[in-house]
Structure formats: C-alpha cells, structure tokens
C-alpha cells in the first residue's frame, strides 16, 4: 500500500472486495495501516445477528431498497444495507419449490402410515 501511495501520490485508498477477499483478519490489518478504507459485504450470519439484536430493522425495506445503518458490532464503520428484489424473488421461488417437494414426500409418509407400512 505504501508503494501505491508513493508512486501515485494517493493519500487514501479504498479497497472493494467480496467476503472472501476482505476477511475480518484482513480488515483488522488494514485498520492498523491507516489511510485505507474498504467496501465489502457482510455474511448472512452477521446480517442475522444485526436483525436479532435490533440493529437492523427489515421494515426499512418496506418503502425503499437502500438505507444507512450503524451497529456497536461494527464500531466506526458505516453500514449501507440494500434489498435486492431479484434475489428476494429467487429465494421466494426456491422456498416454494422446497415446500412443495417436502409436502410431496410427507404425502408418501402419510400414505404409507395409512397402509400400515410404517414400523414404530
């Protein structure tokens, strides 16, 4: 990073990466260097924890797809949250497919039970 700063006269650098590239350990190392910021995505478990602890309210997305947020879990960090309608539709479709497949399998179990083919 020092070479980049010196060669191009850059005072601050912003790295953009996915969750695999900008891990928590790398982010901690970046904080120590200074002058480097980052943009990345949170893991699903981190988002779920924000919701569980009341730091993110999903009702924010009832009227808009983008919001700014903060959390004591990420001190000094700006969280920008967005809803991806295409991804939400895809997840809803997959959820419906899984429910239908489960119902179909349960119907087989019910039929086997009625026919006396289930063993206790």
Measured distance CA(115)–CA(105) in Å, rounded? 16
Residues 37, 47 share a domain? no
Closest listed residue to residue 53, CA positions, set 65, 45, 63: 45
How much is the mean pLDDT over the chain? 85
Domain count, the chain: 3
| Cα dihedral 74, 53, 70, 15 sign | positive
Same domain flag for 3 and 33:
yes
Question: 15-48 pLDDT, tens per residue?
Answer: 888 878 888 888 888 888 778 888 888 888 888 8
User: Quick one: what percent of the chain has pLDDT higher than 90?
Assistant: 19
Query: Are the CB atoms for 61 and 88 separated by under 8 Å?
Result: no
Q: 101 pLDDT band (50/70/90 cuts)?
A: very high
pLDDT given for residue 68 in this prediction: 82
Domain interval for residue 5: 1-41
For residue 108, the model assigns a pLDDT of: 92
pLDDT band at 98 (very low <50, low <70, confident <90, very high): very high
DSSP H helices in 1-120:
2-8, 24-33, 44-52, 85-114
Instruction: Say if residue 79 is in the same domain as residue 47.
Output: yes
Looking at the structure, tell me whether residues 28 and 51 fall in a common domain: no
């Amino acid at each position: 990073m020092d070479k980049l700063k010196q060669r191009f006269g850059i005072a601050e650098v912003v790295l953009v990466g996915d969750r695999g590239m900008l891990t928590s350990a790398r982010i901690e190392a970046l904080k120590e260097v200074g002058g480097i910021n980052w943009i990345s995505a949170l893991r699903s478990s981190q988002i779920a924890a924000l919701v569980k602890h009341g730091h993110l309210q999903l009702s924010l997305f009832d009227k808009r797809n983008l919001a700014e947020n903060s959390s004591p879990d990420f001190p000094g960090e700006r969280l920008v949250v967005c809803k991806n309608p295409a991804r939400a539709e895809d997840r809803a479709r997959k959820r419906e497919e899984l429910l239908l497949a489960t119902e179909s399998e349960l119907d087989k179990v019910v039929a086997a039970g009625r026919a006396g083919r289930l063993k206790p």
